[in-house]
Chain A
């Protein structure tokens, strides 16, 4: 029977010969055979974890992750697969490393004086998963609706600067939909096969929705790629204020969830637990839209970004190109450093790059300003 069992595992092992993603790099036959016998308490299996990576071989240039968690326990039960992937994706983060969480906005130095002539807007986003529920690839309609109910209760109880309204996707009016599109708030049913193959679009638009405050500076997506995606933003360069609102809002929401015995998923090794391993740790992307027409064409631009631990994107978001020299600049890291540290890198790095831009405008050299590796 042992021979049969071995043969049968081989029969189940996926053909990853044409694949280029983190999962395909890590998943050997031995690891697969070891994990094939296991499942999380909610019934998520290694095949469920890797389906999206099997179905999407990947891009020669962009390394996708190729796997998702179905619940909090996935990261434990399938650690033989996920730990090496996490290490690969998060700069060598070890299975024994501890992640620091710091949402005390007062620990941020400066950040309120980014030049608005260059910095057009500032934004911080993260995700949160609610303990006691399985994640979007796996949850049932009942769970998703319970998540929505809890989230709406928590959000609609907020007041002051956080007073706002929830718009469920399946019952918003045409006028509401139009407004949300104009505000660039509305999210749509996922079309990317990276997400649909992971089961995240099931039962759309049931229990999905958008909440935002009246000031339109604090926005929460419910049941999109994660239980919650939380976004704080405003025009101009006051990242300090954006981050303050972000931290305060998150903490208020977390308190309400905790009262219902459904705090956020978190542990001291992986920080905040989210669906995609790439978003572990802080899950935080803090960034600005900034005008850097001269610096962006400087031969050392990419190296500067690298050293500052920042990444560039077009202003349409990930996968877009920049328009008119305006870039989306944000932190590259998620796991292994705190929220404050990551936003600090953005604040300091953008400040430096704006100085460089000004120098280049005057025809001066910037070589002496190029920083050491952070």
Chain B
């Protein structure tokens, strides 16, 4: 029944489970049986069920069968095609490109990985399509590749590891471990001077293990993500109790309210995302959930399975982070009750679509007024040394208006959530101190650069 399964693991439970859940013979014997990436992932669940998928996944990503249910005809055609088109004939022209993928992808790596498939039949070409289609900006280095599933980071490690190193300050997934720490009680000095800090916010993403990521997911998988997440969120109580608004079904009134609250997200227009297949089937299974108090917000099936945002007006970052951690833990608990879990491993932390969001996936930031400091020529250097970045208050790609800036942490991977938020807190407090000093006509100091990784 499962002769085609080339699973390398001989775990006894696996054999028993596969025996019980193998589909009837006629599904294997049809010549035109599909190998489409979406079929394989749905069949993973069909033959193994939700709980088994979690069990199998927990036995180690990458130990799943490398291909299910190949039809004779199409595998012959695929073999012939490989001979006719060696990897060198398909190697992309990256001479005008400036992104992490283009820096890392050599013909040798491409040749090694081109014909590999993840268990969901996702390929290297699909990972890099966005980077091939978007040569990049001379000043801003984009990542240029995405994962289609959890296993992408494993199967295509020869590409993703150097990309991760490039993007995350030399973090080496082969030798280093990423710390996860969502204990908000450890955060100190998390109350900002509200004469300067106008709002505080922490965001991250979470992926549901066993379901493909937005570039690769089928409609059924995307709807399953929505179902799993929305069911879990319905279990939140107290100050986290809230409501889900499906993008396709919301009323005009609801839409207007969400726009006014600055909660509504739109169909992606950036070619970085559309070329990565993330806008397919829009707006099917996309939506926004937020609590009644509008301080905890979750985007479903936008760039990641979920984007989780905690925010408030004012400078109480401590409370924002506490709600963030509590909310995340409660959601995790609620999905675990039904046999699901988040994608995570100790090499890469939380697994998200874009390699730039691995680790914590966390961006903690404030909108802060710094009229004097922002005009000081040392401003950029101070931010750099504090490992902070500035953006306009419209978010990434916007320019600052007036003297108010969005200041947030640069790093995502290699430091824990607590460490990164502490870094942001200490950094913003330092910036406010500088601003106050400049107000009094005193001089300021450029701080020493912060070490990048735990020694």
Contact = CB atoms under 8 A, between A and B. Distances in A.
Interface of A: 1, 4-5, 8, 11-15, 36-39, 41-43, 45, 47, 51, 54-55, 77, 140-143, 145-146, 170, 196-197, 201-204, 206
Nearest to A18: B248
B23 A41 contact: no
B92 interface: yes
Contact of B46 (A1, A77, A143): A1
B81 A42 contact: yes
B412 interface: no
Given A12-B38, A39-B32, 13 more contacts: A11-B220, A12-B219, A36-B39, A37-B33, A38-B34, A43-B35, A141-B92, A142-B89, A197-B280, A202-B129, A203-B92, A203-B133, A204-B133
Contacts of B282: 55
Nearest to B32: A38
B280 A51 contact: yes
Contacts of A204: 133
A37 B74 contact: no
4 smallest beta-carbon distances between A and B, as pairs: A142-B89, A11-B220, A142-B85, A41-B77
A92 B296 CA distance: 55
Q: How large is the interface on B (under 10, 10 to 19, 20 to 34, 35 or more residues)?
A: 35 or more
B42 interface: yes
A94 B284 CA distance: 34
Given A45-B36, A140-B125, A8 B46 contact: yes
Interface string B199-224: 00000000000000000001110011
Contacts of B23: 1
B35 to A, nearest CB: 7
B349 to A, nearest CB: 31
B2 interface: no
A68 to B, nearest CB: 14
A36 B42 CA distance: 12
Given A37-B30, A142-B85, A203-B92, A55 B280 contact: yes
Interface string B65-81: 00000010110011001
Contacts of A206: 92-93
A39 B34 contact: yes
A47 B46 contact: no
A140 B85 contact: yes
B81 A15 contact: no
Interface string B89-117: 11111000000000000000000000000
Nearest to B49: A4
Contacts of A8: 42, 46, 220
Nearest to A140: B90
A4 B280 contact: no
B279 interface: yes
B248 A15 contact: yes
Nearest to B125: A140
Nearest to A141: B90
B248 A47 contact: no
B46 A12 contact: no
Contact of B74 (A1, A41, A146, A201): A41
A206 B133 CA distance: 10
